[in-house]
Amino acid sequence: MIQNDIQLMAIALPEDVTKAKWCGDFDRALRLIDRYTESAKTPECLKTRLKLEREIIQRLPLDYCYTQEQAVELVRRDIPDFTSEELDALRDAGKIDWIYIKGETVYSIRFYETLLSVYPDIAARAGKPAKEESEERQLLYQNIVDMKQNGEASWSIHMRALFTISDDAFRPGEELLVHLPVPKDAINMRDIEIVSTSHPVLKLADIDAPSRTVAFSGKFEKNEPFWVEYKYVSTVRYTALDPAAVSAEQPTFDTEELYPHIRFTPFIRALCDELSAGETNPLIRARRFYDYCTKVGTYSFMREYFTLPDSIPDYYGTGLKGDCGVQALLFITLCRCAGIPAKWQSGLFVTPYSQGCHDWAQFYIAPYGWLFADCSFGGSAYRAGSAERHDFYFGNLDPFRMVANSELQAEFDPPKTQLRIDPFDNQRGEAEYADRGIIWTEKDADWKLIEMKKLS
């Protein structure tokens, strides 16, 4: 299976497969898939789509582990008077992710983490209120002040990224290919240096590769972590936006569809028209898209993107819940549908206090050029009542980033031959043997900040 096959996920499944999948009868769904793929009547494109679905169905239950009783018990550890009826109400309100497994409701492995992170009333009842004035949050506030005053912000960052395969999945002496994401050339990245690695390097992708990695390959006898140490400078400039200054002529690059997710479905076209409401200024239209993604939709931890429906923007736009990448995809798709150039950026969010995966968007408005939109940080600011921070993340970005990816579902160099953990993005790393790829439950990723210094 090749990376380009991912585009075929936009093909609809046979109805009986869909019925079996969503009532949680996964064994039946897999039997039906086998029947279709073995039939000479089934088109090859549908066979490929069904093979992808087979992988999805095998991975989907891994993100769900709590029955109704177990979910209530988990919450009651912090909120003793929490009831099963409250859990039902939260589920019906779209605040909890769930699926059926053999007809029984089963909740996401991160459902309680979402409730504590996003809903202050639940966090307060649990005795875990959000720390709005944390040192990291204050760093973000101060950065906005500094960027508005100085016109830019620049930080030097030195860190190590680690990737470990679980002992159960490790095969001593078998050929293994590992890809770790590393910093790439981007508008907000410079002075990139690969300092050292855990193993001899098979290939370091070009500095401007759309999904840049360092690759290792070999027959390893011991299961040891793979790591890469790198340095870079993150520099971002502040842009004060004025709709009246927008040029009459706008470019048309980066406005095309990219299946399966960046596509102009009937819902996307209708939502684009509704939010635009006759407005022609692209900056104002983009701001309306941003406001929908940040004010109407709500942040929620997600299962693996590979197991999400075949239009992630539709999923977020209709269900109104999603994480940073899901939010970014809806913003990008709405912009492109409106003829506004937009594209993906992802990698890490890095501060002295935490390091972790993150996705955001870029959009192009002449005469300003490429601008940023971080719907996740914008939504968090809106929920916290910070209008200034909400405004900032439309058009601007903080310097606390490591950019590894500038395109969605880009191929690696060298290419993988097996299906990826995440076919759309790469923030933690990927690994494969000759016959199969490592899945997300079989690996661990971590980061160590070595040094971080403000330059301006």
Residue 411 confidence (pLDDT): 96
C-alpha to C-alpha distance for 138 and 46, rounded to whole angstroms: 51
Q: What crossing angle do the helices spanning 324-337 and 375-383 adopt, rounded to 10°?
A: 110
Q: Are 371 and 341 in contact (CB under 8 A)?
A: no
C-alpha to C-alpha distance for 359 and 349, rounded to whole angstroms: 9
* 388-402: pLDDT as tens digits: 999 999 999 999 999
Q: Are 61 and 55 in contact (CB under 8 A)?
A: no
Percent of the chain with pLDDT over 90: 96
Tokens of 75: 């919450």
DSSP secondary structure letter of residue 113: H
Residue 133 confidence (pLDDT): 65
Asked whether residue 131 carries a pLDDT value surpassing 90, the answer given is no
Q: CA 203: distance to chain centroid?
A: 25
The CATH-assigned architecture of domain 239-395 is: Roll (3.10)
C-alpha to C-alpha distance for 346 and 405, rounded to whole angstroms: 5
Percent of the chain with pLDDT over 70: 99
Interval 81-88 mean pLDDT:
97
pLDDT band for position 315 (cuts 50, 70, 90):
very high
Tokens of 236: 């971002």
Interval 292-307 mean pLDDT:
94
* 223-239: pLDDT as tens digits: 999 999 999 999 999 99
Q: Judging by DSSP bridges, how do beta strands 152-165 and 98-101 pair with one another?
A: unpaired
Q: CA 341: distance to chain centroid?
A: 20
Residue 319 confidence (pLDDT): 93
Interval 240-245 mean pLDDT:
98
pLDDT band for position 310 (cuts 50, 70, 90):
confident
Residue 364 confidence (pLDDT): 98
pLDDT band for position 11 (cuts 50, 70, 90):
very high
C-alpha to C-alpha distance for 12 and 196, rounded to whole angstroms: 46
Asked whether residue 1 carries a pLDDT value surpassing 80, the answer given is no
Asked whether residue 176 carries a pLDDT value surpassing 90, the answer given is yes
* 407-422: pLDDT as tens digits: 999 999 999 999 999 9
β partners of residue 196: 229
Residue 366 confidence (pLDDT): 98
Torsion (CA) 175, 181, 184, 186 in degrees, nearest 10: 140
pTM: 0.96
Q: How many CA atoms lie within 13 A of 410 on its CB side?
A: 22
Interval 175-184 mean pLDDT:
98
Asked whether residue 60 carries a pLDDT value surpassing 90, the answer given is yes
Cβ atoms within 10 Å, residue 196:
9
Residue 338 confidence (pLDDT): 98
Q: What is the CATH topology of the domain spanning 153-235+410-447? A: Immunoglobulin-like (2.60.40)
Residue 271 confidence (pLDDT): 98
Decide: helix, strand or coil at residue 212.
coil
Interval 156-177 mean pLDDT:
98
Residue 112 confidence (pLDDT): 97
Topology alike, domains 153-235+410-447 and 239-395: no
Q: Average per-residue pLDDT in the chain?
A: 96
Domain edges within the chain: 1-130, 153-235+410-447, 239-395
